[in-house]
Amino acid sequence: MSAGTADLLEARDLARSYTVRRGLLGRPTAVRAVDGISLRVARGETLGLVGESGCGKSTTARLVLGIEPPDTGSVIFDGNAMPPSGTAAWANLRRRMQMVYQDPLAALDRRLAVGVQIAEPLDIHRIGTAAEREERVAAVMAEVGLQPHHVARHPQSLSGGQRQRAVIARALVTNPDLLVCDEPISALDVSIQALVLNLLSDLQERLKMGMLFVSHDLRAVRQISQRVAVMYLGRIVEEGDPDAVLHEPAHPYTQALVSAIPHPGKTTSRVILQGDPPNPANRPTGCAFHPRCPVATATCRTETPELKPRRSDGRRVACHIAHGEAAAARAPALLETC
């Protein structure tokens, strides 16, 4: 590790586009999935990345791990630039950066026993002897709550929660410094989600890993994260302490997300956004959220807001209204509904 480096992971102005074709005769169109994202994860910290499906969260997760190269921008891991994907240096670094995927059954090979799959990263990186690898697999399985007899079981014979524990065990077996979790609870029953969240939170605290937790579930993000970043159409629009962001959201999009969280026994007004999210292949000018924003001004329609700290609380927000003197005057109706 690089001594004195406070941030384990730093992404600087990442952008990533894909070329898509609509229909057999459609013209190829560039779609920008990630549009200039900067974020950081400190050692032992969990950053929650939240937003609607299709906003670029999963692409961001792949970019920060080097699984996909950015079109522009850079990733710094432990003070050093991320090596190009596929190189020996990148492959060696991957033992320190692991990923937990959304669908545990899809992430596991149904033909292989769970123990074999958990040991696979050790085999790939040639870590330890055969006896040491077997001992490490047993230890990490116990750490995530799997029983010794699960080592010979196949994924399809396990419950959803057990499969996700096996995926987590495989990610932890190399003792990584960074864990990237891409919607790790969305494929699980509600009754199992809390157990997996508690497990991840406990492991992160005990092992002092950095964690990027990607989810569309605000409640899950609030439970597990020390900081939260909200994405919309490929950009971060708000970032800060989870309690501040989710109890007093500053960006109108975050306000709408928060208002959609059900509160049993409590009547709350819902912020209903007009229209659908814009087509990433045809981004609006100015603020990408302005076609759906109930407090948008002429400035919002023409000038792209910068993600910068607010003078009042230091929270980073990309919103002309949140930073302007007219914020309190223009947005009270929306704020009152949250």
Dist. CA 129–CA 136, nearest whole Å: 10
Three-point CA angle 272, 276, 277, nearest 5°: 105
Distances (CA, A) of 311 to 238, 249, 252, 259, 316: 14, 15, 18, 25, 10
CB neighbour list of residue 129: distance below 8 Å, 6 or more residues apart: none
Instruction: Tokens for 124, please give them.
Output: 């790939």
90-96, long-range: CB within 8 Å, 24+ apart, which pairs? 90/66, 92/125, 93/66, 94/65, 94/66, 95/121, 95/125, 95/127, 95/174, 95/176, 96/174, 96/176, 96/177, 96/178
Dist. CA 204–CA 310, nearest whole Å: 30
Burial class (CB in 10 A: 0-12, 13-18, 19+), 21: exposed
| Predicted local confidence at residue 336, as pLDDT | 39
| Predicted local confidence at residue 268, as pLDDT | 59
The H or E element containing residue 13 is strand 7-21
| Predicted local confidence at residue 30, as pLDDT | 85
| Predicted local confidence at residue 1, as pLDDT | 43
Q: Is pLDDT of 312 > 50?
A: yes
- State the average pLDDT for the chain: 88
Helix 160-172 vs helix 190-207: angle between axes, to the nearest 10 degrees? 20
From the list 53, 180, 169, the residue with the least C-alpha distance to 114 is 169
> What is the mean pLDDT of the segment spanning 79-89?
92
Q: Is pLDDT of 198 > 60?
A: yes
Q: How confident is the model at residue 155 (pLDDT cuts 50, 70, 90)?
A: very high
Percent of the chain whose pLDDT exceeds 70: 90
The single residue listed with the structure tokens 């040491």 is 132
Q: Tens digit of pLDDT for each residue in 226-255?
A: 999 999 999 999 999 999 998 899 999 999
For the chain, what is the radius of gyration of the CA atoms? 21
Coil, strand or helix: which one is 238?
A: strand
Coil, strand or helix: which one is 40?
A: strand
Q: How confident is the model at residue 266 (pLDDT cuts 50, 70, 90)?
A: low
Asked whether the beta carbons of 232 and 253 are under 8 A apart, the reply is yes
Q: Is pLDDT of 76 > 80?
A: yes
From the list 223, 157, 236, the residue with the least C-alpha distance to 184 is 223
> What is the mean pLDDT of the segment spanning 46-73?
94
> What is the mean pLDDT of the segment spanning 199-211?
92
DSSP designation for 27: P
Q: Is pLDDT of 331 > 50?
A: no
From the list 61, 55, 50, the residue with the least C-alpha distance to 235 is 55
Q: Is pLDDT of 334 > 70?
A: no
Q: Is pLDDT of 327 > 60?
A: no
Instruction: Tokens for 14, please give them.
Output: 């990442």
| Every domain of the chain and the residues it spans | 7-106+170-244, 248-338
Dist. CA 19–CA 183, nearest whole Å: 25
CATH of 7-106+170-244, one of 3.30.413.10, 2.60.40.420, 1.10.275.10, 3.40.50.300: 3.40.50.300
pTM above 0.75, yes or no: yes
Q: Is pLDDT of 66 > 80?
A: yes
Instruction: Provide DSSP, 122-149.
Output: HHHTT-S-HHHHHHHHHHHHHHHT--GG
DSSP designation for 79: T
| Predicted local confidence at residue 33, as pLDDT | 93
Q: Tens digit of pLDDT for each residue in 160-178?
A: 999 999 999 999 999 999 9
Which of 64-68, 262-266, 333-337 has the weakest average pLDDT?
333-337
